[in-house]
A and B are shown apart, each in its own frame.
Chain A
């Protein structure tokens, strides 16, 4: 019990004194995960919108596949990205293995299906409401997708948040393709795993606290935005 309280005390000191290592790790974590979320949204939202408004043979199978990909195991994604980026792999010449870019790629692959599948559901529901009006407006498919994404923007924030939560909390993929290299590819989750195994519970706990605070903060911010939107009747 005292170990935990000691660790908590030391963790609090690290956070309060803005420990340089801690800040570096948190900043890299945010950089990697936010970049992955941004790319996943750029790909996943239009894909979700397209799936929401189009009907084609095999659509059910595609939806099942996209939904299934939401549960991709991070270590498997890490392994696949590793095989592609390793020196002998097809993309080895890019020299990306053990870099933050490799970690962003792995996390993007992990969360794009989440963004696509969840946004598809949100946008399909909205499209059911708008479909006749949009057909009356004679909108193109692109105009329809853009309008749906814009009008569902507050709901889609929650989708992006789900992606961010998955990205920032996962450890398997970034450990494999990033290598957990100090001052280069060490992020919060890999650092927590490492420091725990080394017995440095204070740093692990401090990182855990920051991770929790981030998750709570982002959730609160999104909730606040949605409430404001609802008050303005835009949601």
Chain B
């Protein structure tokens, strides 16, 4: 991305999280999270179930409000204007009851654009050009997730948030999505990618955020994280040792 207004290029940090906490009732789901992510590349968020990975993504996308702490992108506090420059791909794609092309058109029109070329390019990018006229809900699981990705990318987001997008897909679909993700990152889009899959994290990550029981256990460059994890929680996770 070469957009001079890009929130990831306005400052040295894409995402800064300070003392972030989220509580619901008596439950503390996230607590004391402090993070400063690099403005580009792929940050993989890992951790066991219930660690708070998806919640962290929802918080940085503004879908949930933190109980405490603050989130800033490119030096500016999170605001509706900034969240419009992000896209989130959910684990289970939520597709509109329309054709493949109409699903992409929808988000373009919502942003005040009627741009067939952008739509066609987005579909081509995820390999769905031939399916443009098909009802979106008739696509296979892998195709549906690629459509969700096309919809997320068509607006040219500065930041792409992905919440276990390949969790229930076959290896071929996983590979296609990983290629799109690495291509997108190579073009300058910052990516936050949640996954349980250690192999996938090794393939994609530039750096790794590891959460354990709602706390930040470790944040390291990928090579260091996988070779010499510092936290006991990450060591156990990578070694496949079960912890409660």
Residues of A bordering B, CB below 8 Å = 129-130, 132-133, 135-139, 143, 147, 150-151, 232-235
Contacts and interface: CB of A to CB of B under 8 A. Distances in A.
| Closest CB pairs A-B (n = 8) | A133-B94, A233-B137, A233-B135, A151-B97, A233-B138, A136-B88, A138-B84, A234-B97
Contact of B98 (A129, A137, A151): A151
A147 B137 CA distance: 16
Contact of B94 (A130, A138, A150): A130
A235 B110 contact: no
Contacts of A138: 80, 83-84, 110
Contacts of A133: 90, 94
B110 A234 contact: no
Contact of A132 (B87, B94, B136, B138): B94
A126 to B, nearest CB: 9
A102 B110 CA distance: 40
Contacts of A130: 94, 96
A147 B106 contact: yes
Contacts of B62: 135
Contacts of A135: 62-63
B61 interface: yes
Nearest to B95: A133
Interface of B: 61-63, 80, 83-84, 87-88, 90, 94, 96-98, 106-107, 110, 135-138
Given A137-B110, A233-B138, A234-B135, A132 B97 contact: no
Given A132-B63, A137-B107, 11 more contacts: A135-B62, A135-B63, A136-B63, A136-B88, A138-B83, A138-B110, A143-B110, A150-B98, A232-B135, A233-B135, A234-B135
Contacts, number: 42
Given A137-B107, A138-B84, A233-B138, A147 B96 contact: yes
Contacts of B83: 136, 138
B98 A234 contact: yes
Contacts of A232: 135, 138
B237 to A, nearest CB: 27
- If over half of A's interface residues share one DSSP class (helix, strand or loop), that class is named, otherwise mixed; here it is helix
Nearest to B62: A135
A34 to B, nearest CB: 26
A7 B138 CA distance: 52
Contact of B87 (A136, A147, A233, A234): A136
Nearest to A232: B135
A142 to B, nearest CB: 11
B116 to A, nearest CB: 19
Nearest to B89: A136
Contacts of A150: 98
Nearest to A126: B97
Contact of B61 (A129, A136, A139, A233): A136
B62 to A, nearest CB: 8
A139 B87 CA distance: 13
A151 B98 CA distance: 7
Contacts of B96: 130, 147, 151
B56 to A, nearest CB: 15
A72 B80 CA distance: 43
Contacts of B94: 129-130, 132-133
Nearest to A138: B84
A132 B96 CA distance: 13
A147 B138 CA distance: 20
12 contacts: A133-B90, A135-B62, A135-B63, A136-B61, A136-B90, A151-B97, A151-B98, A232-B135, A233-B137, A233-B138, A234-B97, A234-B137
Nearest to B96: A151
Contacts of A137: 107, 110
B159 to A, nearest CB: 12
Nearest to B135: A233
A235 B137 CA distance: 9
Contacts of B97: 151, 233-235
A137 B96 CA distance: 13
Contacts of A147: 96, 106
A147 B94 CA distance: 13
Contacts of A234: 97-98, 135, 137
A136 B80 CA distance: 10
